[in-house]
Amino acid sequence: MPVAQRDPGRILVTGAAGFLGSELMKRFKARGQTAVGADIVTHCEGVGPIVRLDVCDISAVNALVSEGSFATIVHCGAVAGPVFLADQPLTVWQVNTEGSVHLLEAARRAGVARVVLCSSIDVYGSAHRGMVDETARPDPDTIYGASKAAAEQALLGYRREHGLDALALRFARIYGPGRRTPTVLESLLRNALAGRGTVLDGHPRDPTHYLFIDDAVQAVVRAVSAARPASGIFNIATGKTASLARMVEIVRSVLPELDVTFGKSEWEENGPCGFDRRRAESELGFERLVLFDEGIRRYVDALRGTSSD
């Protein structure tokens, strides 16, 4: 069913030098939309000028938003995942939570029409079982997950008390060409391309939760364009996901030389088997377009040109 549309107008993308942010900037440009990129890093190939912005600096955030005449803000500026700055929990909290609140408050003051916060399935933690939808209680295992959950709660408070039109997208693990921070999947692929073996810290039955970059970008484009979403929180994932063994099987179909050992011989159920995306489909018009086997082929093709020993 088609979803009613709004004009996103002038868009601010924070984290514009990052994986998702840079791809969004390229997509908005291709669609003929006006997007301003902001990041603590001011250069990213193919993105164009980036305004320097530290989201922890509330004065700088207020100045940029108040002077920018933005109709939409997409907030991608954050610590990239639970393995990054794990030994600096305060920094993770300040960037992910306080930085998000700074953007929400600046948006409220400036009358920004729509804010989209990039969140994570890490808010759920590992205690849930089966398929999980957005009504499940957040129960994060890490400071990263807790920081994202706290940012979401702030967003809901701004929605309910101040009428701010703000949405949070809970992304699964985003992968694909252009990712610049290391991941288990990238290491697996690079090792195979270099003729090295990989020991995966897991059991073959463990679930995987991967989302191709094109689908993540599509979800944000849908979120900034949907006219009247009723909800504030959305899972952006593939639904029921493949096991670690199935993931290895798909990778091996592309890279027959893949050499993998699983680090755990005994299986213990740990976390959801998938994330229900029906709310995003019905309210945003999101649809998964890239299956894992196609995504892996495209990722490997990109890595073949950059992989090295």
User: Which two three-digit tokens encode residue 249?
Assistant: 């099987």
pLDDT score recorded for residue 45: 85
pLDDT score recorded for residue 308: 44
Give the whole-angstrom CA distance, residue 185 versus residue 191. Answer: 10
Inter-helix orientation angle 143-162/99-110, to 10°? 20
How many residues in the chain?
Answer: 309
User: Which residues, 6+ apart, have CB-to-CB distance to 271 below 8 Å?
Assistant: 124, 125, 126, 127, 128, 129, 207
Q: Would you call 146 helix, strand, or coil by DSSP?
A: helix
Task: State the CB neighbour count (10 A cutoff) for residue 26.
Answer: 17
User: Which two three-digit tokens encode residue 294?
Assistant: 């196609």
Q: What is the pLDDT of residues 110-157, one digit of tens each?
A: 999 999 999 999 999 999 999 999 999 999 999 999 999 999 999 999
Give the whole-angstrom CA distance, residue 295 versus residue 293. Answer: 5
Beta bridge partners of 168: 117, 233
pLDDT score recorded for residue 241: 84
User: Which two three-digit tokens encode residue 17?
Assistant: 């030098």
Q: In this structure, what are the phi and psi dihedrals at residue 60, rounded to the nearest 5 degrees? A: -65, -40
Q: What is the pLDDT of residues 254-268, one digit of tens each?
A: 999 999 999 988 888
pLDDT score recorded for residue 1: 61
21 and 14 Cβ atoms separated by less than 8 Å: yes
pLDDT score recorded for residue 43: 85
Would you say the C-alpha torsion 34, 36, 37, 42 has a positive or negative sign? positive
Q: Where are the domains of the chain?
A: 11-177+211-240+272-288
Give the whole-angstrom CA distance, residue 21 versus residue 16. Answer: 4
pLDDT score recorded for residue 306: 59
Give the whole-angstrom CA distance, residue 140 versus residue 128. Answer: 10
267 and 203 Cβ atoms separated by less than 8 Å: yes
92 and 143 Cβ atoms separated by less than 8 Å: yes
Q: Which fold has domain 11-177+211-240+272-288?
A: Rossmann fold (3.40.50)
Q: In which residue ranges of the chain is pLDDT below 70? A: 1, 306-309
Beta bridge partners of 233: 168
User: Which two three-digit tokens encode residue 227?
Assistant: 């006219």
